[in-house]
A = this chain, B = another copy of it.
Amino acid sequence: MNLEVKIVEVGPRDGLQNETRSLSLADKERLVAGLVDAGLTEIEAGSFVSPKAVPQMADSGPLLERLPRPAGVRYRALVPNRRGMEAALAAKVDEVAIFASASETFSQRNINCSIAESFARFAPIMEMAGAEGLPVRGYLSCAFGCPYEGAVDIRAVASVTAMLLEAGCYEVAVSDTIGIGTPGDVRRMLADLLTDVPAAKIALHLHDTRGQALANVLAGLDAGVTVFDSSVGGLGGCPYAPGATGNLATEELVFMLEGLGVRTGIDIHKLAVAGEGISRALGRRTSSKVAAAMRAAGEIGRRADTVSSRTAGPADPVGMPAMSDLPS
């Protein structure tokens, strides 16, 4: 597949915002530095929302100040309002994101206002971003279903997407907030959405709550979408708690893309190590199956210099030794 695909790493923001265990600034700094070292260039590193609502993101300012700033790496942050935008500008982010919902009830419960009212709050953000020449991304929450309303109308997705683009967003990340969509939903939605909007303006932000995220990416790719969000280590959920709602693991996404012939430029070993590191800080194992398989095969640690577990030495045993005496 001769495609350019952009991976937006949202682990440091979407992956961590929900965590109950508090992380040190050093933990987060180590995570982002590891992601940069692995080759990720688009990293959502923080969120300038109320620290009362999302305590895990309270140190986004100090974090962004401490991060390395190599050429080609862009840090992003979520901003809900003018005050958040001021903080984001002070932290010298490269891009901001606003968030609207495809569901009225979710909008009310999440940000205490209607969808229409949320756009009034975006106006000063867009104005400030315009003045600074900062790109603004739009998130569209609950595009595949809402925890309160259930099914979400495909036309609501199209209409709020259009509103975000008209407001000045360069791209809308259509988000499966509750991880309920299937490739069938992705196909139906994109068939509708892409009649009005070029695929280049759409990203997919998928949670793996029901294990569908990677298949949904494939359906998105087939429909022409080339920007996908993911979280290293599948951050955002806990494999030990029922109902884990993590993002799609970046390792799984990279592994699939490389297998599809898409060159991601990402060192999957370093990526897996970064995911293991932050998972350890959170007191658990990585939720990435790719990372777990690499660890089991001894690929992590001893070959950190190679680019991909696919391209590097296929002669290595990559399965479970115990499988060797079992059929199929």
Contact = CB atoms under 8 A, between A and B. Distances in A.
Interface of A: 1, 14, 17-18, 47, 49, 53-54, 78, 80, 99, 106, 109-111, 139-141, 145, 147-151, 173, 175, 177-185, 205, 208-212, 214-215, 217-219, 222, 239-245, 249, 252, 255-256, 258-261, 285, 288-290, 292-293, 295-297, 310, 313-328
Contacts of A328: 14, 78, 99, 139-141, 173, 175, 177, 205
B259 A185 contact: yes
A310 B151 CA distance: 9
Contacts of A258: 182
A327 B47 contact: yes
Contacts of A242: 285, 292, 295-296
Contacts of A322: 18
The residue among A47, A111, A183 with the most chain B CB atoms within 10 A of its own CB is A183
Contacts of A324: 106, 109-110, 147-148
Contacts of A183: 218, 256, 259-260
Given A147-B317, A212-B256, A245-B323, 4 more contacts: A18-B323, A80-B327, A147-B323, A149-B315
Given A243-B293, A255-B182, A320-B245, A17 B315 contact: no
Given A150-B314, A210-B293, A318-B147, A109 B325 contact: yes
Copies of this chain, how many? 2
Contacts of A177: 319, 323, 328
Given A17-B326, A319-B177, A292 B243 contact: yes
Max chain B Cβ within 10 angstroms of own Cβ: one of A148, A252, A293: A293
B314 A151 contact: yes
B327 A78 contact: yes
Contacts of A320: 18, 147, 178, 243, 245
A287 to B, nearest CB: 9
Contacts of A110: 324-327
